[in-house]
Amino acid sequence: MEYARGTMTGMALDALSDCDDETLLAHYAAGDAAAARLLTARLGPRVFSHAARLLGDAAEAEDVAQEAMLRLWRIAPEWRAGEAQVSTWLYRVTANLCIDRKRRARGGHTALDAIAEPADPAPSAAGQLQDKARMQALDEALATLPDRQRQAVVLRHIEGLGNPEIAEIMEISTEAVESLTARGKRALAAALAGRREDLGYADD
């Protein structure tokens, strides 16, 4: 494609794709273009998705995701092997960038204004419409949570990470993670309690 500079440092793509993130990052730092492509394919979508869940705004999430990856490219030569997982580091950088942005935005108007409109409003089958409505309702409810609760709930229940890794990302104890996720879920329940019927969960 456009970036066809490819496997210039010798290692075959197949062998590279078996490597863990940290090894790929070392290859990237050594000048391997294929490692950059694999890292982008592996980590880019996770970074973007996480930013979108934390911000509730796809355009802002796009900026944050690009910035978070840029920081990864820049730290690559100094990356100290074995200290932290690349994904853990990226989740932390992404969340911090999101929180910074929201703090700046709050100077002007409330965070509620930033709730995402559905990214793609194209109508389709009823089931898809309902899925979309459900995800939008979840995003709206997530937006009512304090930043740290929202981050903990998203990492635990949407990214599917374990409490020890979340504790490392958020730089708090696992007990604090449990407390944040529990409070976050209670707040979600409070925000969505009246919406079972219109989201189609009334006859479960």
Partner 1 sequence: MRMTRQGGPDDTDRMIDALLDQARATPRDMPEGLAARMLRDAYDEQAARRDAVPVTAPARQAVRGWRPGLWRQFLDAVGGYPSVAGLASVAVFGVFIGINTPDLLTQGATTLGLTTASTDLYMVDVASVWDDLAAEQ
Binding-site ranges for partner 1 (CB under 8 A): 2-3, 5, 28, 31, 33, 36-37, 39-41, 44-46, 48-49, 52-53, 58, 62, 65-66, 69-70, 73-74, 76-77, 119, 131, 134-135, 137-138, 153, 157-160, 185, 188-189, 192-193, 196, 199, 201-202, 204
| Closer residue to partner 1 (CB): 77 or 164 | 77
| Closer residue to partner 1 (CB): 167 or 187 | 187
d(CA 130, CA 124): 10
| Closer residue to partner 1 (CB): 103 or 117 | 117
Q: How far is the CB of 138 from partner 1 (least distance, A)?
A: 5
Q: How far is the CB of 150 from partner 1 (least distance, A)?
A: 12
| Closer residue to partner 1 (CB): 73 or 79 | 73
- HSE-up of residue 110 (Cα within 13 Å, Cβ side): 6
Cβ burial, residue 78 (10 Å; 0-12/13-18/19+): exposed
Q: How far is the CB of 49 from partner 1 (least distance, A)?
A: 5
d(CA 74, CA 80): 13
Structure tokens that stand for 106 in this block: 């709050």
Task: Please count the other Cβ atoms lying within 10 Å of the Cβ belonging to residue 99.
Answer: 16
| Closer residue to partner 1 (CB): 84 or 192 | 192
Q: How far is the CB of 112 from partner 1 (least distance, A)?
A: 19
| Sequence-distant contacts of 130-135: CB under 8 A, at least 24 apart | 130/199, 130/200, 133/198, 133/199, 134/199, 134/200
